[in-house]
Structure 1
Amino acid sequence: MKQTGGSEAGKRRAGESAAELPSDGEVVGLGTGSTAAHAIRALGDRVDAGLDVRGIPTSFQARQLAQEAGIPLTTLEEATVDIAIDGADQVADSGALVKGGGGAHAREKFVDADADRFIVVADPSKLATSLDYPVPIEVLPDARRPVADAVRAAGGDPTLRVAERKDGPVVTDNGNLLLDCAFGAIAEPDALAATLSAVPGVVEHGLFVGLADELHVGSDDDVEVRPVESAD
């Protein structure tokens, strides 16, 4: 289900724009995905030039990239997040997001929610008037069937995410399974988020509501910076 639309130039511009925001002494949440990867590499260049920051990665991929870029790392046990930089699979006009195409949304959500500022990096292909992208749900393996039933009761169509180069399902960094759940147009993402969060066996869902503070949209030629007025 990983979405990779948009040009590399646009992704790079968005990531590099957000990477200019952290200041000396800050702790930075490091998101997962192709656009966030550009931000991590650009932040590494700033660290190499003397910037004093520490990063908290949201996935194995983000950790590897940060280490390669020379960014010192820490954990949520040791620090709070000043600014998080992360991508999205879809961004609504309201600022609500769908995340989880890379299967890292559980860790992304608690890092992004801990941040004083959450910066979303995206290209125009991710923008939408309202959300309609399938919502990933990380589930405990033994709870797959009852969670799928609850998704259907909520109007969704769940599909177990299957690995591309091995037999069997995708397994997250946390050792769980993923259900990609199509709901069609999501008129009230906050209400659906509350419904999904209440289902036993759900580790985390990919609806991010009221978390984003600023959106950096990169094109081939420029970056548009938009404040998200609905952020809590």
Structure 2
Amino acid sequence: MYARFGYSILFVLYQSIVLAQNFDENSSGSWLEFSGTGTLNENWSIPVAGILRHHELFETYDFSFIRTGITYHFNDKSSFTGGIAYVNSKSYPETGIATNTKQYWIYEQFTLKTAIAKNNLSHRFRLENRWINKPETTYFTNRFRYRLQYTRPISRNVYFKTSNELFVNLDNHWFNQNRFYIGLGRKLTPNLKIDIGYLKNHFRNSALDAVLMGLNFNIDLRRDEIALFED
């Protein structure tokens, strides 16, 4: 089992690198992410997520992202989240001098999950209110995102995952970007998973091909028992 999973991971990684090079070696890179949930009670939880992106494999820093918030679970299939996020990114124009951009977000998100047999679908709708701070100006903009994600178990602990997410501007030209992902994951424990695969990120005038590696965790913050200490 472990050998098969290892070979599958190496195959996906190899294909990711080959695909990236076939598109444009100058726009390939790596994408590291983590996401997790801290459960407060049956209805409330705290999400957290982060991304670190590089041009080439782990070389030139491009983008970092962190977000958190509070989630209300209507049931085990649907939830609503409100929260904040921070983005730091660098662009590298022809002058060779890096330009730094910072973003501060407030976001609202609705998630709906459906399952038919072993096929699991997840719909995520997100509205982002963004303050973008560039060296010479700061402006406010709104963006809508829709992600459709599909997962299916391959074996007891290994699963296949693919997703596509469309980003739509609400203030100007409608197309912002599109992210497509395909890869494999493994459950290390009931509350800890790892993913690896290929990410294709389209923008209006460019594209990024990346090897994505992710870590997902769940932490139960509820305390069923209170320890009492006596002198």
TM over 0.5: no
Identify the TM-score tier after normalising by the shorter chain.
Answer: under 0.3
Greater RCO between the two (CA within 8 Å, min separation 6)? 1
- Give the structure with higher Rg (CA): 2
Q: TM-score, length-normalised on structure 2?
A: 0.24
Which structure: greater helix fraction?
1
TM-score when normalising by structure 1: 0.24
